[in-house]
Homo-oligomer: A and B are copies of this chain.
Amino acid sequence: MAENKPTRIVILGGGFAGIAAARALGKQTRHDPSVEVHLVSTENYFVFQPLLPAVVACGLEPSHIINPVRMLCPHVHVHCATVLSIDLENETVCLEGQDARRLFCLPYDHLILGLGLAMDLSRMPGMSEHSLPIKTLGDAFHLRNHVLSKLEQADLEDDEQVRRSALTFVAVGGGFSGVETIAEINDMVKSVTKYYPRARACGARVILVHSRDRILNELGEKLARFAERKMRDRGVEIILGARVKEATPAGVVLSNGDMIQTDTVICSIGNAPHPLIAKSSLPQERGRILVDDCLRVKDHANVWALGDNALVPDVSSGGYCAPTAQYAMRQGKVCAGNVLATIRNQPVKPFSFGGLGQLAVVGHRCGVAHVFGINLSGILAWILWRSVYLMKLPGLRCKIRVGIDWTLDIFFPKDIAMIKVDRTKQLQRAHFREGETIIRQGEIGDKFYIIESGSVEVLLEDSEGATQLLATLCAGDSFGEIALLKDTKRTATVRCIGAVDVVMFARKDFQQLAGSFRAFRDRVMVDSDDRERSSLASTSTNEAS
């Protein structure tokens, strides 16, 4: 039976690289029962990242630039889950799905890593708390609503200083995404202020802060200067050669000593290695995995890496491939071919691609482009930008929808609906019936509980299924801390005696609270130590008996 088990290829990551590999593998293996392709993606959709700035500025609907992974990748087993760990020795990845209490193990024969990069802002105090990233669709959507909420606030506000802070928008980082985002926000804010009479009277400030001496370093000097000039013409203040030193609720402090008072700091810098890659034993340089020119990880016969989390040799230039979508997509195809070739004992092919060029939009109907060695700017570059992206968007439905959005924006003003979809509750509450189990011994610990009303019994189950009562807890008591503090599985079962209402903290919040709040920590720890002692005591009694 073991011989008949299909060879399993597991792809981690649902970005440009992972999706391209999955699509190619799905296509080439759909009639081959000896190969099984699995894709693990944290979202169940693929985001066409280059259009995120347009989503921020209400130019495109969030749902129009995404594609469900299951539709994009037929013949592939799709798992919408977060990768918790990669076990290279046992050739297994460990996944967490929609329920944090349950883990799933997925063994692999070949592993393809397309996890992308993470973000690390820890070198700039306050930036992770007070700046808004633009990496995911959720970020773009949140930022869109945030900008609109600031316009609403400014329109209601009487205090001049509060209103000025609300109407100041700062982007940190002058790369493609920072430039496009702030250019789009600048256009949007200025075109919609007619609906906000009191905000218009005050006027908005839009500022781009960049650490080097010119924006868009990836483009040539001439184009970058053109982009800079155009943006300044449209009213964007550009501060060059300055870094953010610190961010607070009041604004940002720059390395040149200036303080900008603002409620909105958009951050497109701080790329960092993916935490799973960083803590793995894979060969890496500057946080990116070292691969050969066939995309195979050095010294690992069945592990492959591509996209932003890999350092792929660029045969044409002798350096390394740029971390952009056009490289990632082509790497995905080549990698798919090489993995299959390896399985089928055929020769692998090296990755070679010279890049097509770069495109950016710097304002309404104004772009810059460097394609096939030619520089373009203005409306021509803008038309090229729209055409290329419309062509590259995967799926006919996306193309139609984006095409319609772009047509409607000629005839209609920008949308200003601040779509409140988050149902954020900081504290979660739950109600349980008599006899229901709140925590089950052996499960992963995901929450800390405080009893609001009712009472529970804490039970220890031994390997033979016999249970022993450790404690009875009632309103005002708390439980569930041991597994969270020690990162172990649940050490006991907690069952309701009557109906019980509880308040819950998620794992991360609990850990942070325990780490920072003395009163909380002291009290919880004392309870916890008592309980653990009694748990150990009863285990030993059991063993003795």
Q: Which positions in A face B, CB cutoff 8 Å?
A: 43-45, 61-64, 66-68, 70-71, 78-81, 95, 97-99, 102, 104, 125-126, 129-130, 136-139, 141-142, 148-150, 152-153, 155-159, 162, 195-196, 246-250, 253, 396-397, 400-401, 404, 408, 412-413, 415-424, 426-433, 436, 450-452, 475-478, 499, 501, 503, 505-506, 508-509, 512-513, 515-521, 523-524, 527
Given the interface pairs A475-B516, A477-B518, A524-B519, the reply to whether A419 lies near B125 with Cβ below 8 Å is: no
* Pick from B408, B478, B501: contact of A517, CB under 8 Å: B478
**CB nearest to A418 among chain B residues:** B44
A42 to B44, CA, bound (A): 31
Q: How far is the CB of A54 from chain B (nearest CB, A)?
A: 14
* Contact present for B158 and A104 (CB under 8 Å): yes
Report whether over half of chain A's contact residues are helix, strand or loop; otherwise say mixed.
mixed
* Contact present for A423 and B422 (CB under 8 Å): yes
* Contact present for A45 and B404 (CB under 8 Å): no
**CB nearest to A496 among chain B residues:** B248
This chain's copy number in the assembly: 2
A518 to B415, CA, bound (A): 48
* Contact present for A130 and B43 (CB under 8 Å): no
Given the interface pairs A126-B431, A246-B431, the reply to whether A152 lies near B68 with Cβ below 8 Å is: no
* Pick from B98, B431, B516, B518: contact of A125, CB under 8 Å: B431
* Contact present for A99 and B397 (CB under 8 Å): no
Q: How far is the CB of A296 from chain B (nearest CB, A)?
A: 29
**CB nearest to A521 among chain B residues:** B476
Q: How far is the CB of A517 from chain B (nearest CB, A)?
A: 5
* B residues near A423, Cβ cutoff 8 Å: 138-139, 142, 422
Known: A66-B419, A97-B153. 5 other contacts (CB 8 A): A63-B417, A137-B421, A404-B404, A475-B518, A476-B517
**CB nearest to A150 among chain B residues:** B98
* B residues near A516, Cβ cutoff 8 Å: 450-452, 475-476, 503
* Pick from B66, B80, B126: contact of A156, CB under 8 Å: B80
* Contact present for A248 and B431 (CB under 8 Å): yes
